[in-house]
Structure 1
């Protein structure tokens, strides 16, 4: 290996690591606020990439129909919960959030799908379709079990992952899809070319990290999420609505997943089950970060991407084994260094 090959491998590792960093941050966010190990995070990535692919081809994205189905189901569930304490305002809010919102997004997708709008419009429409799914997934699967143990929530996450992956097969089919790049062209950094899509990935990752920092530090809702992450019971005692913070965490995770799908769609062919493997690599970074530290998770994700790039060059057959094996020494160290073990 010479310096040129090593430089290309590092660039590839940084590009993949930036995607893994986004997924790792989303996993840490959801776990710290809700205690849910959110295995289905990768499905939002696949949904985002395939939705953008359909829009690039001038076709109506099936995820808009799936969003409408989710909204109708949540409307019926909320209607059942209101059977004892019915209120007109509650019914109106339920209909607005779970029927009117997905219906409006559906009509917008129908209108824009065949008009071939610009790349940014298609990207924003993709985010608009995928982001509310976080809300609906939380309401359908996790809200009834908000106070359950971590193990129960993990089992539910496995079920949600399998359900979303099956729905991906039904709505998108088994064929792989690839989106168009947000912008074409190459830029020279010294003597090495860097694609515009890679710059989009780096820029979006940095922007989301900075945005999350200001959200948690400067906004009341962000501080409520931090309080819930520190002590869920204590947050309730001081008036924090933990249900709202849980919904917010899932919507943010779905949004980050959609952005990740938009970024990865033009550089890789995405299938209905691709998101699981990508999400697992983000999970490796989150585990290295202890499912608690955002900065450590981000740096660990970059490391995972670089290790993956170099192992694909030296030992491509064992690439996945080596990447997933990175968590073994971390788990051993945590088991040795932790002296107090909570029941959960």
Structure 2
């Protein structure tokens, strides 16, 4: 291995690690606030990438129909809860607005000249379709089980992941897709050429991580989510709604997942079932952080990306084994250093 190859591998590893870091932070955020391991997070990545690819080809990706169907189910559940209790006119108006939003998205996707739109507007359309799926998923599948044991929530998360993989095959088909790069320019770093798309991924990831840090440290809603993560019962007594916290974290996770898919789609071909492996590598980073520490999880995720890149050079056949074996020593170390008290029956 010479210097040029090492720099190229480091470039790939840093790019992948930046995406894994975003996903690791999403997994940590959702888990600390809701106790849910968001296994379907990878589907937001692939759905976002494939939706963007379909828009660039001028095809309607059919995600708008999925959004409308799930929105109707979600509003139906809310209406049923309203009929069982006292009807709140404000909540009824909120339901109408949500259904109206889904209908508007369907109309836009059916009427706009998708392939002729600027790339920034195509990305915004993709995010507008994908982000609402996060809180809808929480409302339908997890909110009724919010107080269930963690094992039940994990089983439901696995079931949602399997279902979304099937839905992805139905919506996008078995073919993979790539999107057009944000920029075709490149920059010389000694003997190595750095692609501008790589810089886009790294810069957007860093900007998003900094924004998340500032939001959670300085804003009222960020502090409310942190309070829910520390003590759900105490947060409820202080007037912080766990339902709002769950929907907000799922919306943020959907945004990060879809944005990650948009960022990496010009670099690698993604398929309907590619999301699980991608999110699993983010999960390895989250485990390195003990499902608690955001900075350590981000650093661990970047390390996973670097190890994966260099493993492709030294032992490409075993790169997945090498990456996922990393989780074992950290689990052993966490098990030996943590002190937990058994829950009462």
Say whether the fold is shared (TM-score over 0.5): yes
In 1, the alpha carbon distance for the partners of 2:27 and 2:112 equals 32
Look up the match of 1:203: 203
State the distance in 2 between where 1:200 and 1:342 align. Answer: 46
Look up the match of 1:194.
Answer: 194
Give the paired residue count: 343
Equivalents in 2 of 1:341, 1:111: separation in Å?
A: 58
Residues in 2 aligned to 1:32 and 1:113: alpha-carbon distance in whole angstroms: 42
CA RMSD of aligned residues (A): 1.3
1:166-223: CA deviation from partner (whole Å, max 9, x where unpaired)? 1101111111111111121111233321111101101110111111012111211111
> How far is 1:107 from its partner?
2.0
Output one character per residue of 1:60-111: Cα deviation in whole Å (capped at 9) or x when no partner.
12211111111111111111111122233322211212x1111122222233
| Distance across 1 between alignment mates of 2:297 and 2:229 | 16
Cα distance in 2, alignment partners of residues 33 and 89 from structure 1: 26
Q: Work out the CA distance in 1 between the residues paired with 2:90 and 2:335.
A: 51
Alignment of 1:103-142 (within 5 A): 103-114=103-114, 116-142=116-142
Equivalent residue, structure 1, for 2:3: 3
Moved more, 109-118 or 264-273: 109-118
Query: In structure 2, what is the Cα distance between the partners aligned to 1:252 and 1:55?
Result: 23
Between stretches 230-239 and 19-28, larger displacement belongs to: 230-239
What corresponds to 2:147 in structure 1? 147
Matching of residues 50-199 of structure 1 within 5 Å: 50-84=50-84, 85-97=86-98, 99-114=99-114, 116-199=116-199
Separation (CA, whole Å) in 1 of partners of 2:212 and 2:195: 26
Shift of the 341–189 alpha-carbon distance from structure 1 to 2, 3 Å rule, reads farther
Q: Residue by residue, what CA displacement relative to the aligned partner does 1:300-331 show, whole Å, maximum 9, x if unpaired?
A: 11100000001111111111111001010000
User: Does structure 1 retain, via aligned residues, the 8 Å contact 2:61–2:171?
Assistant: no
TM-score (norm 1): 0.97
Could you tell me which runs of 5 or more consecutive residues in structure 1 were left unpaired when the two chains were aligned.
none
1:38 aligns to 2:38 (yes or no): yes
Conserved in 2, the CA contact under 8 Å of 1:60 and 1:113? no
Instruction: State the partner residue of 2:17.
Output: 17
In the TM superposition, what whole-angstrom CA distance separates every residue of 1:45-69 from its partner, at most 9, and x where no partner exists?
0000000000110111221111111
**Per-residue CA distance 1:231-262 (angstroms, 9 max, x = gap):** 11111111111111111000000000010000
| 3-state SS of 2:112 partner | helix
Q: Displacement, 1:340?
A: 2.0
**Structure 2 unpaired stretches of 5+:** none
1:138-170 C-alpha deviation (Å, 9 max, x unpaired):
001000011111111100100010111111011
- SS of 1:193's equivalent in the other structure is strand
